Amino acid sequence: MSTDLKSEGALTSSPARITKFILTMESTPKILAFSGSTRKASFNKRLISLAVAEADHLGADVTLVNLGDFPLPIYDGDIEEEQGVPKNATALRDIMIAHHGFIIASPEYNSAISPLLKNVLDWTSRPTKTQEGKLPFSGKSVSLMSASPGAFGGFRGLSSLSSILFSLGMHVLPDMVIVPSAPQAFSPEGKLTSERLQHSLANAVAKHVLFLSVCKSPTALVA
C-alpha cells in the first residue's frame, strides 16, 4: 500500500517524521559513526551512542566504530615510505568508503580536535596506488557534535574539525550539536538530561538522514 505524504501529516511534521516517510521509498543510507575519544567514560562516546540510536530509529543503516580498535602510529612520512600505509588505516578507509555519510562526536583539545582523530584523518586520507586520498570523504556528508565540561561545549574544536573535513571535500552539515557542562548533561544511564539538547540531537540526526535520502541516491555515493 502506498503512503500519502500529505495525509500522513508529514508535510507539517518534524524532520524525523518526514525522514521516516522518505525512507519507505528510497534506498537506506549507510552512516558511519565514531567518537574522537577512546576514553572509557568519554562524554563524546556517550553522545555518539545517542546519535546512533536516533539514526537507527529512523531506519538508517548505522555502523558504530571505536577508533581504539584501529591503533595507528603517529603519521610519519618516513613510516609511509618505508612500510606503506598501516593495515588499520587501510581497514578504516575501506569502512569509510562503504558508507554514504559520517556522524562524528569530537572532544575539544586546546581549542582543536583530539590527536587521535587528527591522526586517523591524516592516515585515512593518504592516497593509494589505485585511489585518491580524499576518496573516503569527498562528496559525502558529515554531522558534527561535541560534549565538553566547558561552557563552549567543544564548539571551538568543531570549528577546527569542520575546516579539515571541508578541505577533504565533505559536506559539513550546519546543525552541530553542542553539549556544554558535560558532567551534568548526562544521566547515570547515559541519556541527555536536557530536553532541549535531546531535541537538538534528534533534529540534527534526522536532517542528516533526510539529506542522504533526498539529495543524493545512496547507491551513487559509494564507489
CB atoms within 10 A of CB 81: 8
At 17 the pLDDT is: 57
Q: Average pLDDT of 166-190?
A: 96
Q: pLDDT confidence of 173, banded at 50, 70, 90?
A: very high
Q: For residues 153-176, give the mean pLDDT.
A: 94
Domain ranges of the chain: 26-218
The whole-number average pLDDT for the span 89-105 is 97
DSSP codes, 65-115: E-GGGS--PPP-HHHHHHH-S-HHHHHHHHHHHT-SEEEEE---BTTB--H
- DSSP line for 149-184: SSTTTTHHHHHHHHHHHHHTT-EE-S--EEE-SHHH
Residue-level pLDDT at 186: 96
> Among 16-25, 54-63, 91-100, 193-202, where is mean pLDDT lowest?
16-25
Residue corresponding to grid cell 559539513: 172
Does 18 score more than 80 pLDDT?
Answer: no
CATH number of 26-218: 3.40.50.360
Backbone φ and ψ for 100, nearest 5 degrees, come out as -90, -25
Higher pLDDT, 128 or 216: 128
215: confidence class by pLDDT, cuts 50, 70, 90:
confident
Residue 84 pLDDT > 90, yes or no? yes
- For the entire predicted model, the pTM comes to 0.86
Confidence band for 153, pLDDT divided at 50, 70 and 90: confident
The rounded mean pLDDT for the chain is 88
| Exposure string for 21-54, b = 16+ CB within 10 A, e = fewer | bbbeebeebbbbbbbbbbeeebbbbbbbbbbbbb
